[in-house]
Amino acid sequence: MQSNQIPFSETGYFSKFICDYISQSIDTKRLYGNFYDRKGFENQIEKREAQFSEANRKVLVASLEKQYNNIQASELTTTHIQSLLNSKTFTVTTGHQLNLFTGPLYFLYKIVSTINLTRDLNERYPEYNFVPVYWMATEDHDFEEINHFFVKNKKVTWDVACSGPVGRHSTKEMDTVFDQFSDAVGNNANANYLKTLFKKAYIEHSNLSDATRYLVNELFGGNGLVIIDGDDKELKREFAPYAQKELQEQYAHKAIEGTNKFLEAHYKVQVNPREINLFYIKDTLRERIVYEDANFKVKNTDIVFSKNEIIQELELNPECFSPNVIMRPLYQEVILPNLCYIGGGGELAYWLQLKEMFTESDVLFPILLLRNSVALISKKQKEKLARLKISNGDLFLNQEELVAKKIKEASKLPLDFSHQKEMLQKIFQELEAVVEQTDKSFEGALAAQTKKQTKGIANLEQRLLKAEKRKHADLNLRIRNLQDVLFPRKGLQERNVNFAEFYAEYGNTLIPTLLENLNPLDQQFTMLCMEQN
């Protein structure tokens, strides 16, 4: 298996903010606690061990056992769950929405990164146990983000109405989605397995949470992955003191405000906190809690609580209070003995806004690690790239830039007019000296002529390049077709393709290949050449 790596900063797909974090830029150091180096993990382990109690562990394990009641956990996953009772056991966590059939390919990379980091830590610190966790974002409600995926350039869509937490949404109307998926994925043995997997996950389970848990367990349970659903009464009870503090003090907004002001001077702010960063959920309802007219109100409903009533409601029904994007990370760190959160660039950008909120909550801020980012390349595609003399770095160029570069290399004509442009510039610079010896009318004429001639030579350069593109039409087409396949819809493959497209080709070697070849601590973009099963 061949792989090559490119620094994230050289791909053009990762923000300056995240690249600065990876390089430990001085501008980002105030935004996190421990870094993902050896010293950082050792410090994190020491602090987390002291902070996470035996009582917390018992609640966590009891909830996980209940959540796994109707699912066949692997022996390793069962061992991992029980090990969480041990004060020497810690988690590494990733989280994601309940995307239909896992959604974009990078869903797999998040979990692979998480599993591989725990393996690395278990080898490095054998006196401790490290457990990989996938947090199902069952309480999200942005259904339009998760109700579709792409297989072989075909969009598979679950076109139904949805309200409230997506995890509670019924899977009754999934037959038409299965038909779309079946048409797109093909009919070989691997594709037929995927169809069976889809049916068992979505047609044999009643809601999206159960379907997703089944699917992810089938894909990764053998690797000991523990799947957790935060939509859980007893886990919410553990979080209730922080929810109460938010209701009474609106402290999250205040804590993050200073960080956001700092970020605005350097980077793009990813998310903005509300005055109250909690939702109220019940059945298919999920609406914001707001404080108006000395009462707590649930937006778009008639539900109103006094100050005393909402605290009583929190004590009796903690499951009805759902953290938003700002407080969900805090909820996660309150209920898990977690060391590190692994996420994408956008996720880490908003986590880096939250450290002061964690400090105000007296909860340890986790180590943050950017997930593996990958482009999968077939052996045939790699051979085509070699014949076209396209490097991995070239692939990240804008398509017009890439085509122009390769046409210039293939052409026998000098397509770069840089020398002529320099000569022209010198001529007009010499003429500028004449301006001082004559009237202002000459200055205007010279400026106009400089602009005209500079534009003219640039146009000639472009016309010659267009002519050569026509002459090398086959090369032009092959370059575009290859880049379009590797960068579908002009974006990263991992954001635009579902894993089914690759599983149909590589079968059950796909995930083991990813686990074998991806190191989450490398922190570079990986180009991975796949071998046919």
Q: How confident is the model at residue 413 (pLDDT cuts 50, 70, 90)?
A: very low
CA neighbor of 360 nearest in space, from 459, 253, 489, 264: 253
342 contacts 117 by C-beta, under 8 angstroms: yes
What whole-number distance in Å separates Cα of residue 474 and Cα of residue 387?
Answer: 13
CA 231-237-240 angle, 5° bins: 105
Q: What is the pLDDT of residues 317-353, one digit of tens each?
A: 999 999 999 999 999 999 999 999 999 999 999 999 9
Name the amino acid, one letter, at 44.
Q
Residue 437 reports pLDDT greater than 70: no
Domain that residue 304 falls in: 35-371
Half-sphere exposure of 30 (CA within 13 A, CB side): 9
Q: How far apart are CA 343 and CA 197, in angstroms?
A: 26
Compute CA distances 319 → 133, 234, 362, 490, whole Å: 21, 8, 23, 42
Does residue 461 sit within a domain?
Answer: no
Question: Given a cut of 60, is residue 510 above it in pLDDT?
Answer: yes
Place of tokens 């109307």: 173
Q: How far is CA 437 from the centre of its chain?
A: 63
Q: Show the beta-strand stretches assigned E in 158-266.
A: 226-229
Angle between helices 510-517 and 499-506 (to 10 degrees): 100
Is the pLDDT at 467 greater than 80? The verdict is: no
Q: Is the dihedral of CA 167, 168, 169, 172 positive or negative?
A: positive
Residues 150/111, Cβ–Cβ less than 8 Å: no
> Mind listing the pLDDT tens digit for each residue in 61-109?
999 999 999 999 999 999 999 999 999 999 999 999 999 999 999 999 9
Alpha-carbon distance of 63 to 331, in angstroms, equals 15
Does residue 468 have a pLDDT over 80?
no
429 within some domain: no
Specify the pTM: 0.90
CB atoms within 10 A of CB 325: 16
Pair 135, 94: CB distance under 8 Å: yes
Lowest mean pLDDT among 410-424, 477-491, 492-506: 410-424
Mean pLDDT of the chain: 91
Residues in the chain: 533
Give the neighbor-by-neighbor strand order of the sheet with 304-305: 304-305, 295-298, 285-292, 278-282, 321-323
User: Band of the pLDDT at 15, cuts 50, 70, 90?
Assistant: very high
Number of domains in the chain: 1
pLDDT per residue as tens digits for the range 277-330 = 999 999 889 999 999 999 999 999 999 999 999 999 999 999 999 999 999 999
Residue 367 lies in a domain: yes
Q: Write down the pLDDT at residue 182.
A: 96
Long-range contacts of 1-5 (CB under 8 A, 24+ apart): 1/513, 1/516, 1/517, 1/528, 1/529, 1/530, 1/531, 2/382, 2/528, 2/529, 3/517, 3/526, 3/527, 3/528, 3/529, 4/392, 4/526, 4/527, 5/522, 5/524, 5/525, 5/526, 5/527
Cα 175 to Cα 158: distance, rounded to the nearest angstrom: 10
Structural domain includes residue 224: yes
* Tokens 């880049």, located at residue: 483
Residue 528 has pLDDT above 60, yes or no: yes
- What are the φ/ψ torsions at residue 134 (nearest 5 degrees)? -110, 120
Q: Is residue 28 part of a domain?
A: no
Query: Among candidates 143, 482, 480, which has minimal Cα distance to 286?
Result: 143
- Mean pLDDT value across residues 409-437: 62
Provide, rounded to the nearest whole percent, the portion of the chain with pLDDT above 90: 80
Other CB atoms within 10 Å distance of the CB of residue 415: 17
For residues 73 and 114, is the Cβ–Cβ distance under 8 A? no
| Contact between residue 400 and residue 123 where contact means Cβ atoms under 8 Å apart | no
